[in-house]
Amino acid sequence: MTAPCRDFRAAFPYFNTPNAGVYLDSAASALKPQVLLDATCAFYAEAGSVHRGLQQARTTEAFEHARQLMAQWLNAPAAECVVWTSGATASINLVAHSLANTLSKTDNIVTTTAEHHANFVPWLMLTKKCGASLRVVAFDAQFTITPTALLNQLDANTKLVALNVQSNITGQVQDVATLIPLIRRHAPNALILLDCAQAIVHQRIDMQQLGADFYAFSAHKLYGPTGLGVLAGRMEALEALQPLFYGGKMVERVSESAVSLAPLPQRLEAGTPNVAAVIGFGRVLEWLAEWDFDALNRDAVTLAQHCQSALLQLPGCHCYSATPAASLFSFVFDGIASVDIAMLLQEHGIALRTGAHCAQPYLDALGEQSLLRVSFAPYNNDDDLARFLTALSQSLDLLT
């Protein structure tokens, strides 16, 4: 039995804080539910690290239980296919680091113009370092990576294809279920990495159905803690990765002259992990399972659609948005600096994002320097939207 969506907001203590404003920046980081705060406090009140001694058995159990929950959430083939990292950026860099030893000058890596810097800069730096080429696929007028555009860049020397499942600028979802089999056929030697940082909040990622090699995302966008991320993947693909860090907890046997690594996932999780964050995130995943996830997301999309319709009534407003609609989109006004609007909105207690959104190649392609972005979550309501629209029209009055 799932809980009615209207109660979702009540689970977030932010709305009871004295300075609570209108939070429309969930695509940057989601608000945190009370269950996360409770689980994190309980951990710090009573426990230590994991995998270290008998007294930590309970903590270890909770830590590994969270991994199980994450694996179930992703329909991963096994819990060992889920590696904890410090975030999406760390997950992607772990893969990039590993490839540095295998890439030669004749190889290429394929990514897209529609990426966050986290899924662009590591590939740019890697290919520069190895003398390999970086091939960048452009998006079309609907902000989509089409099969044809992608296929044009693939060949037998493609060693990795890295693409986002959902854009942090437009909210456009890429049809990765169609693209992945095409990549397998046309670039048989390529690994496939999906940046799921935005998508993980808006849709269920089914690893066994999609069949990519790697999936990277951060917990903080899925109502979880900061400083925690996931690199999930096919067992063989993860096993082939070179650890980025060496140290405790990731080895089976060490002598003065040799080391044998522990099996997955520990071999990629050297050092003391972010135990509090993992246990807290596990509790969030348990709690999320009590809700109708798709219905929650539909509510957020509906708010975003109403918002976009209202914005398009305003003179000089241009929206960059997904088809079908998503819960986030970006916009600009002719002749008005986005940063000026954002600053005035901030005075009204409206939190949204402005700037290049860590996606400068994307903005270059759009011919924009700075965009405003609203992102709605299921804890937002009609009142938030009304307050935003009123504040925006007052801000525009001052600026025009």
Ligand X SMILES: Cc1ncc(COP(=O)(O)O)c(C=O)c1O
- What is the C-alpha to C-alpha distance for residues 379 and 95, in angstroms, rounded to an integer? 34
Check binding of 24 to ligand X (CB under 6 A): no
* Residue 89 in contact with ligand X, rule: CB under 6 A: yes
Residues within window 200-229 making contact with ligand X, judged by CB under 6 A: 218
CB 145 within 8 A of CB 139: yes
Contact status: 83 vs ligand X (CB under 6 A): no
281 vs 333, beta carbon nearer ligand X: 281
Closest contact distance (angstroms) between CB of 198 and ligand X is 5
Rounded to whole angstroms, the Cα distance separating 296 from 385 reads 16
Q: Is 211 left (phi over 0), alpha (psi -120 to 50) or beta?
A: left
Q: How far is the CB of 229 from ligand X (least distance, A)?
A: 6
Q: Where are the alpha helices (DSSP H) in 193-274?
A: 199-202, 207-210, 235-239
**Applying CB under 6 A, which of residues 98, 164, 327, 380 lies at the interface with ligand X?**
164
Q: Active-site residue 358, yes or no?
A: yes
Which segment (3-11, 70-78, 83-91, 181-189) binds ligand X by CB under 6 A?
83-91
Query: Contacting ligand X (CB under 6 A), which of 98, 168, 172, 395?
Result: 168
SS3 302: helix
- Tell which positions 115-154 bind ligand X, by CB under 6 A: 116, 118-119
Task: Provide CB contacts within 8 A for 50, sequence distance 6+.
Answer: 56, 59, 60, 63, 273, 275
The token pair at 179 is: 């693209």
Nearest to 275 by CA among 10, 124, 51, 101: 51
In this structure, the number of other CB atoms found within 10 A of the CB of residue 368 comes to: 16
Q: Judging by beta carbons within 10 Å of its beta carbon (0-12, 13-18, 19+), is residue 203 exposed, middle or buried?
A: middle
Binding mask 93-122 for ligand X (x = CB under 6 A): -----------------------x-xx---
Q: Which region, left, alpha or beta, applies to residue 75 given φ > 0 means left and ψ of -120 to 50 means alpha? A: left
Name the DSSP class of 240.
Answer: T
Task: Report d(CA 45, CA 189) in Å as an integer.
Answer: 49
CB of 100 to ligand X, least distance (A): 20
How many residues interact with ligand X (rule CB under 6 A)?
A: 12
CB of 27 to ligand X, least distance (A): 6
Measured from the CB atom, the residue of 193 and 311 that comes closer to ligand X is 193
Of 198, 297, 321, 354, the one binding ligand X (CB under 6 A) is 198
Closer of 224 and 392 to ligand X (Cβ): 224
When asked if residue 330 is in the footprint of ligand X (CB under 6 A), the reply is: no
81's tokens: 């296919």
Q: How many beta carbons lie within 10 A of that of residue 384, not counting itself?
A: 21
* Window contacting ligand X (CB under 6 A); options: 100-108, 194-202, 239-247, 301-309: 194-202
H helices present in the chain, as ranges: 34-46, 57-74, 88-99, 121-130, 147-151, 176-186, 199-202, 207-210, 235-239, 275-288, 293-312, 338-347, 360-366, 382-399
At its nearest, how many Å lie between ligand X and the CB of residue 4? 29
CB of 316 to ligand X, least distance (A): 27
Which window, 63-71, 81-89, 174-182, 236-244, contacts ligand X (CB under 6 A)?
81-89
In the list 8, 36, 87, 232, the residue contacting ligand X (rule: CB under 6 A) is 87
Closer residue to ligand X, CB minimum distance, 199 or 303: 199
Return residues touching ligand X (CB under 6 A).
Answer: 87-89, 116, 118-119, 164, 168, 195, 197-198, 218
Q: Catalytic residue positions?
A: 358
